[in-house]
Amino acid sequence: MKTTNYNIRLNPVIKEKAEKTFTEFGLNLSEAINVFLHTSIKYRGFPFEIREISTDIDAINANETLSDIYLNNDVTDENEIYVDYDNFKKEPALKSAIELAIENGQISTSILQTKLSLGYAKAARIINIMEMMKIIGPLSVRSQRKTLITREEFDEMIMNIEEKD
């Protein structure tokens, strides 16, 4: 297959973390970018949800682009659980999926499809949300994702969500 070169600028910390992540999947950064591009073409857009982080224009530095804001906010403490309250409202199956992950100690899209009667796209979206929330870890060799939170942490999360409503 014929290829072409394309140069991009990357934050060195992001580059290092991305290389480490993709190496676990047996990919180099170039191969991972190709997977992203192929998937974007297949889905005719980003293969994940993009949302605005802040609508408060004063909170955004005049020199920052929207990309900078996403990248700067995306590098969080790896042990911090990120709770997106809106996802619990938008995805009714999310709570059941988290409970299933905690019960089994691991989760996969196929488990969600089977146990919750979900289509692949919805199961994959829920897996992505759960990973973003630091509820499950990255994909392992056996296509399973290890559960990172306990039942007690989940119960506390649900209590906080209910208090917010």
The CATH number for 143's domain is: 1.10.10.10
If phi over 0 gives left and psi between -120 and 50 gives alpha, with beta otherwise, what is residue 120?
alpha
| 69/53 Cα distance (integer angstroms) | 8
| 107/105 Cα distance (integer angstroms) | 7
- Do 155 and 105 belong to one domain? yes
Average pLDDT, rounded, for the chain: 76
- Do 90 and 47 belong to one domain? no
In the chain, the number of structural domains is 2
Is 79 inside any structural domain? no
Partnered with residue 136 across adjacent β-strands are 147
Is a pLDDT exceeding 60 seen at residue 18?
A: yes
Is 7 inside any structural domain? no
- Do 41 and 67 belong to one domain? yes
Mean pLDDT, to the nearest integer, of 49-57?
49
- Do 89 and 160 belong to one domain? yes
Is a pLDDT exceeding 80 seen at residue 89?
A: no
Residue 122's domain comprises 85-164
DSSP alpha helix (H) spans, the chain: 12-23, 29-43, 66-74, 85-90, 94-104, 109-116, 120-132, 151-164
The residue out of 32, 52, 74 marking a domain boundary is 74
The predicted-structure confidence for 96-128, as pLDDT tens digits, reads as follows 999 999 999 999 988 999 999 988 888 888 888
The residue out of 74, 98, 121 marking a domain boundary is 74
Closest CA to 100 of 112, 83, 110, 114: 112
CA dist 89 → 84, 92, 93, 97, 110 (Å): 10, 6, 10, 14, 23
Confidence grade of residue 142 (pLDDT, cut at 50, 70, 90): low
Q: Which helix (H) or strand (E) holds 107?
A: strand 106-107
Is 6 inside any structural domain? no
- Do 155 and 130 belong to one domain? yes
- Do 93 and 69 belong to one domain? no
- Do 160 and 93 belong to one domain? yes
On the 0-12 / 13-18 / 19+ scale of CB atoms within 10 A, 44 is: exposed
